[in-house]
Amino acid sequence: MEKLREVQKLGQSVWLDFIQRGLITSGRLQQLVADGLSGMTSNPTIFHKAVTQGRDYDEAIKSILKSHPDAGTRDIYDRLTVEDIQMATDVFRPVYDASGGMDGLVSLEPDPELAYDTDKTLAEVRRLWRLVNRPNLMVKVPATPPGIPAIEQLFAEGININITLMFSMAHYEAVSRAYLNGVARCSNPQQISSVASFFVSRVDTYVDRELEKLGTAEALSLRGKAAVANSKLVYNRFKEVFAGDEFARQRGRGARIQRVLWGSTSTKNPDYSDVKYVEELMGPDTVNTLPTETLDLFLNHGRVRDTLNEGITEAEQVLKDLKKVGVDLDAITEQLQVDGVKAFRDSFDQLLVALEEKCRQFR
């Protein structure tokens, strides 16, 4: 696990993109934290896998039904997830305290059905913030057009937000603007922790599909390059934003930077390195959240080197070349956000169905 410490020295934090009750209660999470893991993210897809694979939650569900026989499926989901997040935040609390609030954070995602409703997003995030009642909680809000004003308002209220489903420079500009505006309106900006979660591998999945349709040698030579190039340019913009005068004023009030978090970093294409989106997106003031399989692969044979601060000119050229061959990256990244919301919504619905079935069995 020494490799996690090497990454930390470089200025990047490694978080785990997974949560399961057994991971926490077995002491395995505590060991990972001792080895250098410094945060955790979750989403409806992850919770769906956690609840349906194995019997980790059976006794908890039975206990809820015994004390609350009329509990609805959503209420049971609420109780299970809040308990998991509370246990995880308590494990990470020493990391949160030692890092001054930059690490040791655990993310919880509200119902994806709310992604296009500003007012309902605000109400649900406030409810979850009060319910979990931990300073190292981050509530996830997608960077959809209705999500952006909600994000700014929640920052103004001093709530930690992990902004998700970002795929483009336009998404990043809107999110960083919401952060700057929100902390400026917050009376205690020093209490806010935030990350801007930029999704990576799915960009290559969608772009490669378009390149293969074109089929020319020029187009095919660009496969596997779009996601990292796209991410490096966003990282470059992040450095500009948080080195600027506008943030300097908020830094003077105690505000932390909003780090970029690389999400969706497992390799989908077997032709590419299985640690491609870890090794090629390593650099200061960032987070990479890894599924357990990708974390194991990286610990086994990943290399540690600052790669984010190199190849910016080449990244710009990749985006120019994509445009030249006829790939509309802006259209693709907008579709990725729409599809991302739908995927999480589908997982959430499947999770509720699975919980309902367990409740039916136990009743």
| DSSP letters spanning 88-152 | HHHHHHHHHHHTTTSSSEEEE---GGGTT-HHHHHHHHHHHHHHH--TTEEEEEE-STTHHHHHH
Rounded-to-integer distance, Cα 167 and Cα 180, Å: 20
Angle between helix axes 169-185 and 226-242 (nearest 10 degrees) is 30
Give, as one character, the DSSP assignment of residue 225.
T
Any idea which residues carry the catalytic annotation? 140
Angle, in degrees to the nearest 10, between helices 329-362 and 312-325:
90
Do residues 139 and 169 make contact, with C-beta atoms less than 8 angstroms apart?
A: no
HSE of 254 in the Cβ direction (CA atoms, 13 Å)?
10
DSSP helix/strand/coil, 298: helix
- Using the Cα atoms of residue 48, residue 52, residue 54 and residue 55 in order, give the sign of their dihedral: positive
- Looking only at the bridges linking them, the beta strands covering 259-263 and 194-199 are parallel
How far apart CA 22 and CA 39 sit, in angstroms, is: 17
Partnered with residue 162 across adjacent β-strands are 140, 195
The C-alpha torsion from 352 through 353 and 357 to 359, rounded to 10°, is 20
Neighbour-count burial of 149, counting CB atoms closer than 10 A to its CB (0-12 exposed, 13-18 middle, 19+ buried): middle
Handedness of CA 267, 169, 232, 219 (dihedral sign): positive
Single out the residue of 95, 162, 160 nearest to residue 134, CA to CA.
160
